[in-house]
Structure 1
Amino acid sequence: MRIFEEEHSIPIFIMTDDTGIIQHSVFSAPDPNSGYTTDDNSRALIAAVMLYEKFKSKKYLKLIFTYTSFLLYAQNKKGTFKNFMDYNRNFMEEEGSEDCFGRCLWALGYTFKSKGVPESIKSAILTMIYRAIPNISSLTHMRGKVYSLLGLNLIYKALLEKKHSSINNELLDKYLNGIEIVEVNNTPIRSTDDLIDILKNEIVEICQYLMDNFQTHSENSWHWFENSLTYGNAILPLSLLKSGSTLNNKSYLDTAIESLNFLEKLCFVKDYFKPIGSNTWFKKGDAVPSEFDEQPLEACGTCIMYTEAYNIFKDQKYLDKAYACYEWFLGKNSSGKTLVDEFTHGSYDGIMKNHVNLNEGAESVLAKIITELTLDILQ
């Protein structure tokens, strides 16, 4: 079954101008009043890289340049990222959330590991990674850590691949010595080997944090990392799946699957995917999760989680669930209504209690594109 047709990329062009991708829309029209967010532009960078890898078209390469430039502008002197920008290109804060930082690191890692992205862009990406890394150890929020963990895995694997190429390794060492030396826990990063060691240490540290939290909060019928399920839930098992695969660590994989199964029981009560509603969070001891709102980003994240599980274990049940997350967009959901605008091919903003939100903001259209391309890669 062919999932992604090139016309499905139309919404990313509708929502993107010379600055970046605009945050919200009024129905399908971009709303300049909403400005931009670094959150959305980091997601857009992942989508653009996926599109360029698939079609090798310069129009997608131009998008990669646009979103990379946005992140360069968003990164502050500390190495973290500003998030909210008005339509006049003025940032409204000096530092965004830890979630924003983690999402940026994920996008940077995805781009850096891409085989198709030109090395000149990867050098700019590496510059941002290099500036960001000293901030990882000071993260305190779980999702900031987890989004960062996804990026760290990608960067770590990309550097290991480069390490096996003496030419690439030599060039990277020269690059690292040609920019300002930064330190992580009083250790200067001067070579590829230094960077690889630091990345591995950060991966292990965040994974141990997740394992400890899972041990602390799990009991009886509750198998989760916190005492509540909130937003971006699938990213937590996903990050341990990625790390377990990267480091060949069975404990990480076992905990990832245990938490995946717990989330699955809540999101697949019926024969379709229904994410945890965002109106109120689902706390330990609650009878049932909040029913609404259902958001495209949750379908996307859960699809990626199941796809990763399938890639590791080759069990068809995970692939079936990944497709069920995609089918949520098509109408196999609690409302029985499609979330796809048949003219723009974009995704509506979500399922509310009494209606479908017919706006098509950046987060939603990117969620659909990334979901489709994630499954398309398997074919």
Structure 2
Amino acid sequence: MSPQCRKLPDERFIFRLTDDTGMFQHSIYAVPDPTKGYTSDDNARALIMAAMFYKASGEERYLDLVTRYLSFLAYAQNDGWFRNFMDYDRNFTEKKGSDDCFGRCLLALGFTASRTYLPNSIRGVADKIFRDAVDSCDKLSFLRGKAYAAIGLCFKNEEKYHSILSKLAYDIAIAYEHCAAADWKWFENEITYCNAVLPWAMLEAYEILKDEHYRKIGLESLDFLLKTTFVGDMFRPVGCKGWYKRGETPAEFDQQPVEACGTMLACLKAFKLTENNAYHSYARQCLEWYTGHNSLNISLIDPDTGGCMDGLTPKGLNHNQGAESLVCWIIASLASHTYFKEEDKEE
């Protein structure tokens, strides 16, 4: 593992990109862009990141960030759902966010409420917002929203929510069964964005519900995704300029940081369930994608700021350093310390 991945990630850009409202959505190069405002999507991810950083460092300033990002989600909640886009004047520009936004918020809240190392006062607020939202899961229409929500329910892991989890997992599994074939082990006829959340949700659901069918789908679809997104030992996510339509060739660019983090987390879950070292290796290579083991052989991490570039393009780096990219890098880096640190001591 590269030296940059062995230590705790550089935290400076987290504090540059966060103000007293929450985390800004975008930046112009390494300067926060107030004109683009904030999103619940990003602040939900940032909530997970801050909780993980607090556990890793024990520093009170990360607990302050947890409180700030959690407060953002409390304000975003609206009639059991979540608004997503907020302008710089702290006004939400929509009454209802997307399914993906709802699912990401529920995931972050389930994660936060279940972290025993956090103060009860914080966990209690996360639990309240979670409870106020969970009944809206039956309004979800899209697979990724269902997958994020299912993972949040798995983090929470309370029996009273298992019926909701069962319905979400069933819906995702049915989509797979309707679409998958011998040469296409996937949930849809196109591989697009945040792909690994689908097999990850199946694996999480299996661990809670003990339905072997979900384990089979999770591993089968993850293996197909890995076959699609790895060239030898190098991670090469499906590019957002064209995606990967069934029967065609995957787009190589633009490659986005969110895919490396999501695939890494799915692989770590698969490794935990199977103890198959291949998944451990895939997870490592996803992490190394950020630091230069990628199609362009260049690191996405800015040594001057600690930020993460917004992706790889055919012409090089996208030099903007937005919230999604930063938080995905930090989460991946912090997750690596849980799974890789003991092994690294032996090297």
Bin of the TM-score, shorter chain as denominator length: over 0.9
Q: CA deviation at 1:271?
A: 2.8
Tell me which amino acid in the other structure corresponds to 1:68: L
Counterpart in the other structure of 1:175: none
Where structure 1 has 5 or more consecutive residues not aligned to the other structure, the ranges are: 160-195
Tell me which amino acid in the other structure corresponds to 2:32: P
- TM-score when scaled to structure 2? 0.95
Tell me which amino acid in the other structure corresponds to 2:166: V
Change in 2 beyond 3 A, CA 1:144/1:7: closer
Asked whether 1:348 is paired with 2:309, we answer yes
Matched-pair contact (CA < 8 Å) for 2:146–2:172 = no
Which aligned pairs between 1:44-83 and structure 2 lie closer than 5 A?
44-76=46-78, 78-83=79-84
Matched-pair contact (CA < 8 Å) for 1:112–1:125 = yes
Q: Provide Cα deviations, 1:346-376, integer angstroms capped at 9, x if missing partner.
A: 2111001112101111111111100001111
Counterpart in the other structure of 1:8: 10
Match of 1:41 among 40, 43, 46: 43
Change in 2 beyond 3 A, CA 1:65/1:4: farther
Tell me which amino acid in the other structure corresponds to 1:141: F
Question: Which SS does the other structure have where 2:231 is aligned?
Answer: coil
Asked whether 1:374 is paired with 2:335, we answer yes
Counterpart in the other structure of 1:107: 108
Counterpart in the other structure of 1:167: none
Asked whether 1:246 is paired with 2:220, we answer no
Matched-pair contact (CA < 8 Å) for 1:4–1:373 = no
Counterpart in the other structure of 2:344: none
Percent of aligned pairs with the same amino acid: 41
The count of aligned residue pairs is: 338
Matched-pair contact (CA < 8 Å) for 1:307–1:375 = no
Matched-pair contact (CA < 8 Å) for 1:20–1:66 = yes
Matched-pair contact (CA < 8 Å) for 1:228–1:281 = yes
Q: CA deviation at 1:4?
A: 5.4
- TM-score when scaled to structure 1? 0.87
Match of 2:274 among 310, 313, 316: 313
Q: CA deviation at 1:220?
A: 2.4
What is the CA–CA distance in structure 1 between the aligned matches of 2:214 and 2:190, rounded to whole Å?
Answer: 21
Which aligned pairs between 1:19-30 and structure 2 lie closer than 5 A?
19-30=21-32
Counterpart in the other structure of 1:276: 238
Change in 2 beyond 3 A, CA 1:69/1:4: farther
Which aligned pairs between 1:1-379 and structure 2 lie closer than 5 A?
3=5, 5-6=7-8, 8-76=10-78, 78-156=79-157, 159=158, 196-197=159-160, 199-286=161-248, 288-378=249-339, 379=341
Q: CA deviation at 1:73?
A: 0.6
Matched-pair contact (CA < 8 Å) for 2:9–2:330 = no
Where structure 2 has 5 or more consecutive residues not aligned to the other structure, the ranges are: 342-347
What is the CA–CA distance in structure 2 between the aligned matches of 1:303 and 1:342, rounded to whole Å?
Answer: 23
Q: CA deviation at 1:269?
A: 2.8
Q: CA RMSD in A?
A: 1.2
Question: Which SS does the other structure have where 1:351 is aligned?
Answer: strand
